[in-house]
Structure 1
């Protein structure tokens, strides 16, 4: 099941964040940042829940200037990665962009993540620009976009 996150989900989202992202490689969200995001109208934070309605994954989109959605993050606990959780969480951000009549989806990936680059390219995303030394370990990011207006 997928649903919009509430303040009650903040600690579970933070636990997923800590379990799935190595702080030496990624800039993770703090619990304070998650709570702040949950209070903003521009935030679309979805959780994918197990049969006990406990979040096991999340995706985060932030509306920018009422024209684009920044697909900030997606994470799914390892034991649920063989399910449709990641695909469902990815699709809900794209659906949100279309439903809100936004023009563009923007996301960043590590330049060294060739598999993810290929996957997103096959889904219609293209490289907009490279961001040097974006991640804590010095790796660059590829900022990718997908035009959604008219889809």
Structure 2
């Protein structure tokens, strides 16, 4: 991981970066079910899923989110703190064997009036399948120190 100090003023609308790919495995499904407690048959029962429109197991949306966000965690910025996520949407299903990548783009900036010395930066996360289809979109909000 790279440590890089990026202050509020350094962020520019439209800046973006893309991650490397990550192939989703059956082990990911099982481990995520164990961690989350979500054992719905849509994720784990191959025979049940054959009766559904997709015909196969569907990745947990929360797993796709977790892995998608994890792929972006390549820069440690000591002056930026996660403030939360907004507008998460599961657009297309992810299946065992799909390879996902994540793209993040700065889509908004605003001064935090109630927190002097900080600004809010919004980064759009898009998790994309190898087919080019977006699987998940969410907005990641950061609280970022301003230059003194």
Q: TM-score, normalised by structure 1?
A: 0.25
The structure in which a higher percent of residues are strand is 2
User: Which structure would you say has the larger RCO, counting Cα contacts within 8 Å and 6 or more residues apart?
Assistant: 2
The structure in which a higher percent of residues are helix is 1
Larger Cα-atom Rg = 2
